[in-house]
Amino acid sequence: MIARSVAMTIEQVAVRFGGLVAISDMSFTVGEGEIVSLIGPNGAGKTTAFNVMTGFLTPSAGRVTYRDTALNGLKPHEIADLGLIRTFQRTSVFPNDTVYDNLLIGLHRQGRVRLLDAILGLPSARASERKLRQRAGELIEWVGLERRAHDAAGSLSYGEQRLVGVALALAAEPSMLLLDEPVSGMNASETHRFVELIRSIRDRGITILLVEHDMPMVMTVSDRIVVLNYGRIIAEGTPELIRNDPAVIEAYLGHGAARA
Amino acid sequence: MKAVITILAVVALASVPLWLRDPYLLNALITTGIFVIGAMSLNLLLGFTGQLSLGHIAFFGIGAYVSALTSLGFDVGLPGGFRVVHEPWPPIIGLVFAILAAGLCGYFVGLLSFRVRGAYFVIVTISFAEVVRLVALNWVELTQGPLALTNIPSIALPLPGLSELTLRTKMQNYYLVLVVALIAYLLIARLVRSHFGRAMRGLMENETLAVSVGIDVTKTLTLAAVISAAIAGAAGSLYAHYIRIIDPEVFAFINTVTMVIMVISGGKGSLAGPVVGGLIFGLLPVALRPVMAPEAQWIAYGGVLMAILFVLPRGIVPSLAQRLTRRRSGAKALALTETGVEERA
Ligand SMILES: Nc1ncnc2c1ncn2[C@@H]1O[C@H](COP(=O)(O)OP(=O)(O)OP(=O)(O)O)[C@@H](O)[C@H]1O
Ligand SMILES: [Mg+2]
């Protein structure tokens, strides 16, 4: 394996909700440009791990570091400013805005201009606005939603809304993208297209951490897999290794999936 | 289409003093215009960020008092034997101070309430208005308390080369209010269509998603509160220099309620909504005065508000706009199918 520099380090993170231990002593790293999947049964703590990494939850113990910045105590928008962007397990769009306007909101980090410039409509503000609009158009094209661009995002199908969610995350110009079950609710052909999308995201140099229950997809797309069960990491390694790991088969994959 | 309506409306409003000579009606239009500016500022918060300021009149009243005191001068003792003496300054500087002072108060109220979310903003704004009212009532040496500040000078515009133009007549004040209202309208329009406005809308629609793409909640909402409060302060200043007398009653809760009604009836979150709602509820007392006692008028307001919201649930402007576009897109769809049929035929 090629030695990569480390993008994200998770060190001994624990999360407790009252008496419930959602994550205990979780440690792993994600390399720059890598596609790592975080898998495990329902309730294993995958979304909770995402919430810790993106500042929506403060861990009870441990720390997360992204590109040499400790994330403890940072607010979600500050973490987003480091280029660490996530999507959500449940569909999450700005429902009353058009798809196009959704992306313009998502482009917030690129569109920062001075308040006075924006109000006076100075050339710098207008140039920035033109650039954002062009970029929004490109992103829509990229996820293949051109025909839905001017429909309210809330009126789209489930699968389409998931695509809007990913496009929104990409609009924020991530250097690392956390995807929480992006293909759930998509049909086979949509899923297939999405795998291509993930690969092309990685080809742009964006590091990806993926949570997904769709095992064929996880196995084809991942460089490395981390398996969680009851908040603990029970295995970590390449797809071939994980596919044949007895503990993983026992806890999650089942004996049928191992052959798939 | 929208721009045409806007320009026509502005021309119509600008023409009013040319044909309307009744001073009573002109007076009603001027005070209505001042409250419309207040309603527009409230709409920036309520309609574009979803935050309800139930003490919004505080910013208006602070603007009124700051502007009045700047132009009247004062001489007050402070604890420790200090005295602060201020000689009267031109009212136009009072207007500037009113905007700054109200904006600053908006900043602190925002800072206090937007760190913790939920109903805090509503509660903080109500409390803030009450505290300011009590100060105005009890700091008699500065504000004259219930005796009111009187003889507040009219605004005078410095004219280059000439001396000054003091705005004494109703017609002059009408145009002053119209110009300030237009500036406020354009300011809010530019703001909500900008990058900042999109951040506000994002937060209102889906806060979790908005912060995940890097939108700073506290900063965005505080900015909206500052601009909203500053505009309300400007309206308060116009009020003080037009009415020329101001007392703590200006902080009454009912004045905030009036602005909220103007915004909700016209349509929150639409730029023209508070103007339409404001004109209706500002001028309704004029229509009702011959037939109703002032106390009974409030019942009528309630009735009118309910009737409007029953027919146009999202408020006049958004609901009508929705109907228009639906009809037009319906027509378009029909036209498309017709041409489709022709092509196939
Ligand atoms: N805010 C919360 N308060 C209390 N308990 C929570 C909270 N969030 C998650 N949990 C609990 O923590 C555990 C881990 O939940 P989490 O959502 O991280 O699982 P997951 O691995 O994402 O599962 P799934 O595959 O179903 O999405 C679950 O038992 C869940 O009920
Ligand atoms: Mg989950």
Q: What is residue A228's predicted lDDT score, i.e. its pLDDT?
A: 93
Residues of B in contact with A128 (CB under 8 A): 195
Q: What is residue A138's predicted lDDT score, i.e. its pLDDT?
A: 94
Instruction: Give B222-262 as a DSSP string.
Output: HHHHHHHHHHHHHHHHHHHHHH--B-GGGG-HHHHHHHHHH
Is residue B205 one of the residues assigned to a domain? yes
Query: Probe ligand 1: pick from A48, A179, A232, max atoms within 8 Å of CB?
Result: A48
Q: Please name the residue whose Cα sits nearest to atom 30 of ligand 1.
A: A43
* Interval between CA A92 and ligand 1 midpoint (Å): 18
The domain total for chain A is 1
Q: Give the gap in angstroms from C-alpha B224 to the nearest C-alpha of chain A.
A: 11
Q: Flag the least confident range among A117-121, A217-221, B277-281.
A: A117-121
* CA distances for B177 relative to A168, B34, B37, B57, B279, angstroms: 42, 6, 9, 18, 14
Question: Whose CA is closest to A118, among A107, A108, A129?
Answer: A129
Is residue A37 one of the residues assigned to a domain? yes
Note the pTM of the prediction, 2 decimals.
0.89
Is residue B318 one of the residues assigned to a domain? no
The structure tokens listed for B228 are 């909203």
Residues of A in contact with B201 (CB under 8 A): 94, 97, 105
Residues lining ligand 1, CB < 6 A? A 17, 20, 22, 40, 42-48, 89
Is residue B337 one of the residues assigned to a domain? no
Is residue B119 one of the residues assigned to a domain? yes
Whether A37 and A218 have beta carbons less than 8 Å apart is answered as yes
Is residue B319 one of the residues assigned to a domain? no
Whether A41 and A67 have beta carbons less than 8 Å apart is answered as no
Is residue B338 one of the residues assigned to a domain? no
Burial of residue B15 (CB within 10 Å: 0-12, 13-18, 19+) is exposed
* Domain limits for position B157: 2-252
Per-residue pLDDT of chain B in tens (345 residues, 90 and over written 9): 778 888 999 999 999 888 988 889 999 999 999 999 999 999 999 999 999 889 999 999 999 999 999 998 888 888 887 888 888 889 899 999 999 999 999 999 988 888 766 678 888 889 999 999 999 999 888 888 888 888 888 888 887 777 778 888 888 999 999 999 999 999 999 999 999 999 999 999 999 999 999 999 999 999 999 999 999 999 999 999 999 999 999 899 989 999 999 999 999 999 999 999 999 999 998 888 888 888 888 888 889 999 999 999 999 999 998 888 877 766 655 554 444 443 343
Residues of A in contact with B196 (CB under 8 A): 115, 118
Is residue B148 one of the residues assigned to a domain? yes
Backbone torsion region of residue A62, taken as left when φ is above 0, otherwise alpha when ψ lies between -120 and 50, otherwise beta: left
The contacts of residue A208 (CB under 8 Å, 6+ apart) are A34, A35, A36, A176, A177, A178, A179, A198, A201, A202
CATH assignment of the domain containing A33: 3.40.50.300
The domain total for chain B is 1
Whether B171 and B26 have beta carbons less than 8 Å apart is answered as yes
Q: Do B194 and A80 touch (CB under 8 A)?
A: no
* Domain limits for position A247: 6-91+174-183+206-259
- Among B49, B117, B212, B326, the strongest candidate for a mutation testing the A interface, having the largest count of A CBs within 10 A, is B212
Whether A25 and A15 have beta carbons less than 8 Å apart is answered as no
Is residue B98 one of the residues assigned to a domain? yes
